[in-house]
Amino acid sequence: MKNFKTIILSNQEISPGYYRMKILAPGYNELARPGQFVMFRVQRSLPPLLRRPFGIFRAGFLPADCESMPPKEFIEIIYKVVGSGTEIMQGLHHGDPVELLGPLGSGFDPGTPEEEKILVGGGIGLAPLYMLAEKMVEKSKVRLLMGGRSRDDIITVTEFERLGVETYVSTEDGSLGEEGLVTRVLERKLDKYPKASVFACGPMPMIEAVQKICLERGTSLQVSLEALMACGVGACLGCVVKGEGHTEVDPRYLCTCTSGPVFKAEELNWNKAAINGVESGGCK
């Protein structure tokens, strides 16, 4: 983990409101583990002030500019435009300077190869699941359940397919794939593959619903959470979530940035409103 100044290689809209940014990132193929994130410095002048956290979608190599040079390493992030920082990001181009702090946080534990794996992604929450799928498909059967409000929220599914992941799409308005919530698909898949372990990332209501389903069935679950972050390195204590056994008198806060963003479901306190209030419209 370190901070370095780098440049953008490309930045493209992949679906209305969703962008994919490729950033020059030496060392990341070696360093980055599935589920980790970077603190991205949008630009060097104000605003915005604070860095923004983004999951690492994928790391890779580009051919070198000339023969004597090593291939260029990059990472990709996928982001949704939701506010001032991401609005600035959508206007960035090839060659623009940015800073990356990372890779940060705990990653997913891929578990044992013989188990079946079910990935559940809600909208932009899909981002940190790609590297995990890449890692797991070699040895395990991986299925992706991708949900969103409408077809615009269904992104990069074909890339998962290219990895050899079996994909199931659902949208709330039925504009793509099955109509309804992704959790309904999850229940069906768990009926069929009761021994599968589940990896989920998406909006909090989805994560909570997935947790309920997995708890009832005793299914192993890892979730990747989002929280408002200032530092990303465990120093500000702004990003905490309530851990298992948390009570008012015996509080157990965990930093999303260092203990997470990936947690085993049993590490967390799932009482309503126990989780960081991003969904209630908090800000940085």
Ligand X SMILES: Cc1cc2nc3c(=O)[nH]c(=O)nc-3n(C[C@H](O)[C@H](O)[C@H](O)COP(=O)(O)OP(=O)(O)OC[C@H]3O[C@@H](n4cnc5c(N)ncnc54)[C@H](O)[C@@H]3O)c2cc1C
Chain positions contacting other proteins, by CB under 8 A: 1-3, 41, 46-51, 99, 101, 227-241, 251, 253, 276-278, 280-284
- Beta-carbon contacts of residue 245 (< 8 Å; ≥ 6 apart): 252, 269
Looking at the DSSP bridge assignments, the partners of residue 120 are 145, 200
* Residue span 223-262 as binding mask against ligand FES, x where in contact by CB under 6 A, dash where not: ------xxxx-xxxxxx---------------xxx-----
Q: How far apart are CA 56 and CA 108, in angstroms?
A: 12
Q: How far is the CB of 56 from ligand X (least distance, A)?
A: 8
> What are the DSSP calls for 147-165, one per residue?
EESSGGG--SHHHHHHHT-
Q: Which residues of 34-65 are buried (b: 16+ CB within 10 A; e: fewer)?
A: bbbbbbbbbbeeeebebbbbbbbbbbeeeeee
The structure tokens listed for 71 are 């291939």
Residue 78 interacting entry, from other proteins, ligand X, ligand FES, none, C-beta within 5 to 8 Å by type: ligand X
Q: How far is the CB of 115 from ligand X (least distance, A)?
A: 25
Residue 49 interacting entry, from other proteins, ligand X, ligand FES, none, C-beta within 5 to 8 Å by type: other proteins
Closest CA to 275 of 115, 284, 261: 261
Residue 50 interacting entry, from other proteins, ligand FES, ligand X, none, C-beta within 5 to 8 Å by type: other proteins
The footprint of ligand X (CB under 6 A) covers: 37, 48, 52-55, 77-80, 82-86, 124, 127, 226-229, 261, 278, 281-284
Residues in contact with ligand FES by CB under 6 A are: 229-232, 234-239, 255-257
